[in-house]
Amino acid sequence: MTQADDRILETLADSDLTLSPRVLAANTDYSRHYISARLGELRDADLVDRVDEGLYVISDRGLAYLEGELSADELEKDE
């Protein structure tokens, strides 16, 4: 997990909206390309769900991570 991953998850959780990499980039100070790459990793870890082409929401697992119910170490073990 990176600092960007935390920012992406927090932005998705705080907005409670379906967001694109472009919107996430505008709200996190990371590039759209970098956000897209990180979203792929977050999706592989089941922390975000892709609801349509280029549109993402935070998953229940992502919320559990943000709430401290799931640690980064546990995520790495699942890989």
pTM: 0.91
pLDDT above 70 as % of the chain: 96
β-sheet bridge partners, residue 50: 56
Find out whether 35 and 24 touch, Cβ atoms under 8 Å: yes
What are the C-alpha distances in Å from 3 to residues 8, 15, 32, 38, 79?
A: 9, 18, 16, 11, 19
Per-residue pLDDT at 71: 85
For 18-48, write each residue's pLDDT tens digit: 999 999 999 998 999 999 999 999 999 999 9
Q: Give the CATH number of domain 3-67; options: 3.90.930.12, 3.40.50.1400, 1.10.10.10, 3.90.650.10.
A: 1.10.10.10
- pLDDT score at 51: 96
d(CA 22, CA 73): 29
Domain ranges in the chain are 3-67
